[in-house]
Amino acid sequence: MTLTSQLDEMLVALRQTHARLLAPMDHQQLLLPSDPEIFVEDVLQYVMDEWKADLLKEGHALEEISSWKDPVSHYPRFELRVRGGAKLDLLFTGSYPETLHLHVSKTMANKNQFSDAQAIQVPLRVSNDPHALLFSIIGGLKEFSKKG
């Protein structure tokens, strides 16, 4: 399975997640928290939990790599097992609150290594609005999916 076809599989579930989460945003909570752990827990983990549920419906499995700890940005890392056996590494990187990127690559045997040969990096919007985060993930993956 090519990286492009795996991105297409990710997009199917992401679109379902985005459609399901169209709840109103409390505009009094637009300010980003000063603590990155709050952002990760309240926004990023929420989005990933919802996406995980939709991936599961499509026959895929998304698991957080709990042994991964980034003491600076606190951004998490996940492994996605695509239906059919292929594995992708999803690593959120950046410097909170300025930047956030999603790095998607083929999973390596050593969990501390990353494949640059088959990898993409998607810039994401840092926002308390889960819809904005989902929309930037979808848009970024769609761009790379078209190129493949």
* Residue found under tokens 């990023």: 44
CA 86 vs CA 7, 52, 61, 64, 123: distances in Å: 12, 16, 11, 16, 24
What is the pLDDT at residue 101? 97
2-31: pLDDT as tens digits = 888 888 888 888 888 877 776 555 555 568
If one compares 92 and 143, the residue with the highest pLDDT of the two is 92
**Helix, strand and coil percent figures for the chain, each rounded to 5:** 40, 20, 40
In a 3-state reduction of DSSP, which class is residue 109? Answer: coil
Q: Which range has the worst mean pLDDT, 61-65, 67-71, 121-125?
A: 67-71
Q: Does residue 38 surpass a pLDDT of 80?
A: yes
What is the pLDDT at residue 117? 67
68-101: pLDDT as tens digits = 888 877 899 999 999 988 899 999 999 999 999 9
pTM as predicted:
0.81
Give the percent of the chain with pLDDT over 70. Answer: 87
Q: 56, 142, 74: which is closest to 104 by C-alpha?
A: 142
